[in-house]
Each structure stands twice: as C-alpha cells, then as structure tokens.
Structure 1
Amino acid sequence: MSETEFLEAVKNNQGIIYKLVGLYATDGEERKDLYQEVLLQAWRSWSSFRGDAKFSTWLYRICLNTILTQKRKVNRIDYLDSLEPVAHLATDTTQHKKEEIDRLRNAIRTLPETDRALISMHLDGYENAEIADVLGITVNHVAVKLHRCKQQLANLLKQ
C-alpha cells in the first residue's frame, strides 16, 4: 500500500476528519492539532489496513480513537456557543439551512463523547452493525443509544 494510495483515500474521506474534529474540538488551534494527530495516527496505522471494512469506516475508528485519547489527555471538554462552519456543509445552502446545521451541530456537541460519535456515524449513513464495530458495542446497544440520542437531540432542538 503506497503513500499515494493513502493520500488519495484520505483526500476522498477528509470530510469525516473535519466533521469529527469539529464536534470534539473547542477552538481553531485545537481543531488543527487534532486534525494533524488524526492524520499521523492514520498514517502510522495504514500498513495494518487490511480492507476488511470500508476505508471510511476504518478512518472513523482511527479518528475517534485519536480524538478521544487526546481529549482524555487534556481531561476536559469545553463547549462553545457556536462553531466555525465546516466548508463542505456550508456550500450551496440558504442562510436558514446554515442556521439549522449550526443548531444541530451545537446540540450534538452537548452529548457525551460516545453519543456524539454514534449520532455522527448514523447521520453519515452507517448501518448499526458498522457503528457497533467501530464503537465496540453490540448492535442492540447501538439501537437503544441511537433512540435515546435522537430523543435528547429533539428535546434540545425544541428549546
């Protein structure tokens, strides 16, 4: 597996990294640092990528593990009232849609770390079995947690 293949695969899936880093990082510098750390960890693990799962699923796991490890090192999580918009989410949307995306993103940021990962993967179209594999929980547990997350987000968005 070559460096070119790695770079191409990351380029095609960089939205995953941007989105997850944006959900867990509190400011621009922290986002940059986490992004760099995710790329470093993905590169270090590249030789172990067997292709059993989709590259995007593998990258999700690397990204989440890296982010959660880094967050534990800092041992604190700060929440901001707003986040800088992610470029690929903000293109070709009306102001109303941008505001709705920001509201949803802010609501997701209030969830516990694993719930953020779970809902993020769900919104990206991953099946419960893939989410279970990445998070290391049962498919049944994913369904239960997903239901609770949706209820919690619905309540937060009503406010």
Structure 2
Amino acid sequence: MTEKSYLQKIEEHKGIILKVVNLYADDLEDRKDLYQEIILQSWHAYPRFEGSSKFSTWLYRISLNVALTFLNKRKKVEKIKEGSTTDIFVEPHELSERADFLYRAIKQLAEIDRSIIMLHLDGFNNTEISEIIGISKGNTNVKLHRIKQQLATILNQK
C-alpha cells in the first residue's frame, strides 16, 4: 500500500468525505478541520485496509467515525461557550434549491440517522449500511423506515 495508491483512491472517493463534512460541520473552518482530520485518520488506517470490503465502504466508516468524534468534541466546546449557536451550512451556489432543502432536513436528524440516510441516498444497501454503522440489518431496516417517515414530516412542514 503506497502513498500514491492512497492518494489516488482518496481522489476517486473525495465525494464521500465532502458529503460527511457538509453534514457534520457547520462553518468553513470546522469543515476544513474535519476534512483534514478524515484525511489524516484514513492515512493512518490505510496500511490496515485489507480489501475485504470496498474502499468506499471503508472510507465511509472512517469518515463517519471521525465526524462523530469531531462533533462530540465540538459539543463539549460549545457547552463551555454560553449561548453560542451555529447556522446550518449549505453554500447556495453549490447546491440546487431542492438539494439545499433536503440537506437542511437531514441536518435536523439525530447524528446516527444522518449517517444512515446519507448512505442510503448514496446507494448502499441495508446490509452494507449495517456493516458501516455497526448495527444489525434488522435494526437498519427499522431505523431507515423511521428516518424516511421523519424526513417526510420535516419536508411537509416547510
């Protein structure tokens, strides 16, 4: 496993990292920090990538784990700062109006639910989602059904 092969795979799957970053980081500095942290952690883990799963599945798992850790650290910092709020990030020029609407709805979901729906929207089947998230396939099926209902409710309120 060489640096060249790693960089090539990261470039091919850059969209995965960007999706995770956009769903879990609100401002530009946080997005930059999270992106760099995902790259760093995936580079450290790359020698242990055995190829038993697709690279995209492996990268999603790393990205989501790093994002959730990042988010937990941010929450601790925000508790220290009284009254701080963050706006939902979506750059208007980067997303269509419909995609912007959907991103905003997804941002209202619980952290794990965001991960599940994002993977589903990216075409992963429920078995793959359960492997990436680390929950049973049955639990994934139930959660996905409930997430869809919750999103429908959110989207219909607007």
User: TM (normalized to structure 1)?
Assistant: 0.89
Task: Note closer, same or farther for the CA distance 1:146–1:14 as it changes in structure 2 (3 Å cut).
Answer: same
Residue equivalent to 2:116: 118
Alignment: residue pair count: 150
Give the CA deviation at 1:101. 0.4
Residue equivalent to 1:151: 149
Secondary structure of the residue aligned to 2:13 is helix
Task: Note closer, same or farther for the CA distance 1:65–1:86 as it changes in structure 2 (3 Å cut).
Answer: farther
Distance of 2:9 and 2:101 partners within structure 1: 30
Task: Note closer, same or farther for the CA distance 1:17–1:85 as it changes in structure 2 (3 Å cut).
Answer: farther
Distance of 1:132 and 1:61 partners within structure 2: 11
Distance of 2:41 and 2:93 partners within structure 1: 22
Secondary structure of the residue aligned to 2:67 is helix
1:129 partnered with 2:136: no
Secondary structure of the residue aligned to 1:75 is helix
Give the CA deviation at 1:74. 2.0
Distance of 2:102 and 2:35 partners within structure 1: 22
Give the CA deviation at 1:70. 1.2
Residue equivalent to 2:12: 12
1:50 partnered with 2:50: yes
Distance of 1:25 and 1:48 partners within structure 2: 27
Question: Quick one: percent identity of the two aligned structures?
Answer: 48
User: TM (normalized to structure 2)?
Assistant: 0.90
Residue equivalent to 2:107: 109
Task: Note closer, same or farther for the CA distance 1:82–1:37 as it changes in structure 2 (3 Å cut).
Answer: closer
State whether residues 20 and 63 of structure 1, in contact with CA within 8 Å, keep that contact through their aligned partners in structure 2: yes
Amino acid at match of 2:31: R
RMSD between aligned alpha carbons?
Answer: 1.6
Distance of 2:44 and 2:131 partners within structure 1: 21
Q: Deviations over 1:76-110 (max 9, x none)?
A: 686534512585xx4xxxxxxx1110000000000
Residue equivalent to 2:90: 83
1:99 partnered with 2:97: yes
Distance of 1:123 and 1:28 partners within structure 2: 24
Stretches of structure 1 lacking an aligned partner (at least 5 in a row): 91-97
